[in-house]
Amino acid sequence: MPKTVIDCLVIGGGIIGASVAHQAAGRHPGWDIHLLDPRGIGSGTTASSAGLYVPFGATTEIRSLVRDGLPAFSAYRSWVADDTIRDLRFLVVLRTTARNDLLAMMTGGAAHEPTADDLDWFAHRYPECDLAGQEIIRLDGAFRVRAGELAGQLATASPNVRFVAASAQVVRRREQGWVVEHDAGTTAAARVILSVGPWMLPVLDLPAPSALDAPGRRKRVAAMHAYNAPKADDRAVYFLDDDVFLLPEPRLGYTIASFYLDRWSQPPGSGDPVPAPADQAVGRAALARRIGPAFAATCGGGRAGTDVYQPQRLPAVLALDPDSTLLFAGAGSGSGVRLAPGIATRVVGCLTAA
């Protein structure tokens, strides 16, 4: 018979919410855990994610989250479906004076000089790319994650996780725990995790910390698809100084070409899931400048969404009540996929202590 008060309700079925539900279920197999999302597991920002995992981070906290999450990613690889997570040959192009800066950001793996094969491949793959004043470094420890597929597999891997297709509207305090009103009815839960992103928060019956009210930090993110017939031995390439990366997807027939898009203050849930013409114009200009006009001409369509960037790319986990039974987990700042296991580890640690 279902419990009147479930043990844990996770609101938001993206990669962070699915990771939280999965880790909570593994740590507490006797718990009844519900995962609530109106659009399905792995939708929203997760569905548009390129899913690039790299072994470095721009801040101390991001590097810590990357390190915390690596054991979880290693465990996932032992049972998830083929090609959900795959290793990448990974090259970084950066100024010759920036090598030490990159090494200081490393969280694992190792940096090497490129092989002759790497250099030959790069010269033939991107012949227009100007490397004057630049160098190439080869990194171990990078992989690609199919974020939506992984979220779905995490959510369904544990028998004590139940998916509820509904949108949370109000979270109210009760004597012991919380009551959540949603499209499918009402759920009473001892613990509630908000992993929907600050732009989709339900109404809370307590003052929300200012960190959750950040409309000016909602950023449009976009990537185009380069139809350049990628091959199985293609490398992923990250142009560090330009914030451009190329992620080959041989199975899909294109290379994901991500670029920086300076569009902020996006309304909640705004924007098409594909780059608008204005987005594509910015992307083609950036890719032509960095890689070459011929490459930029192969680019079209793509994927786009909105993400939340907090000051110093924090916080990832917030306790919203003194007992840590209402938590916020999110604000991946464009790195939600690779930070999700580390964020989930911290959330579940808070739940254990509560």
Concatenated DSSP letters for 123-136?
HHHSTT---TTEEE
Using DSSP's 3-state secondary structure scheme, residue 267 falls into coil
What tokens appear for 97 in the block?
Answer: 């004076």
Side by side, the strands of the sheet bearing 177-182 are 5-6, 185-189, 177-182, 168-174, 203-204
Burial track 185-210 (b if 16+ CB lie within 10 A, e otherwise): eebbbbbbbbbbbbbbbbebeeeeee
Q: Do residues 230 and 258 make contact, with C-beta atoms less than 8 angstroms apart?
A: no
Q: How big is the chain, counted in residues?
A: 354
> CA 92 to CA 59: how far, in whole Å?
18
What tokens appear for 299 in the block?
Answer: 């680019």
Q: In 227-324, where do the E strands start and end?
A: 236-239, 244-249, 254-259, 299-308, 317-319
> CA 347 to CA 354: how far, in whole Å?
11
Q: Do residues 168 and 181 make contact, with C-beta atoms less than 8 angstroms apart?
A: yes
Distance of CA 260 to the CA centre of its chain: 16
Distance of CA 26 to the CA centre of its chain: 21
| Residues sharing a CB contact under 8 Å with residue 83, sequence separation 6 or more, in sequence order | 146, 251
Quickly count: other Cβ atoms within 10 Å of residue 286's Cβ. 21
DSSP 70-113: HHHHHHHTTTSPTTSEEE--EEEEEETT-HHHHHHHB-SS-EEP
pLDDT of 1: 36
Helix axes 15-27, 147-156, angle to 10 degrees: 30
Q: Do residues 221 and 309 make contact, with C-beta atoms less than 8 angstroms apart?
A: no
The pLDDT profile of the chain, 354 residues, written as one tens digit per residue, is: 356 899 999 999 999 999 999 999 999 999 999 999 998 999 878 888 889 999 898 888 888 888 988 899 999 999 999 999 999 999 999 999 999 999 999 998 789 999 999 999 999 999 999 999 999 999 999 999 999 999 999 999 999 999 999 999 999 998 889 999 999 999 999 999 999 876 678 888 876 665 565 545 788 889 999 999 999 999 999 999 999 999 999 999 999 999 999 988 877 665 678 899 999 999 999 999 999 999 999 999 999 888 777 766 665 788 888 889 999 898 767 778 899 999 999 999 998 766
pLDDT of 199: 64
Quickly count: other Cβ atoms within 10 Å of residue 114's Cβ. 18
> CA 139 to CA 97: how far, in whole Å?
17
**Phi/psi of residue 130, each to 5°?**
-90, 120
Quickly count: other Cβ atoms within 10 Å of residue 234's Cβ. 19
pTM of the model: 0.92
Rounded to the nearest 5 degrees, what angle is found at the Cα of 139, between the Cα atoms of 135 and 145? 125
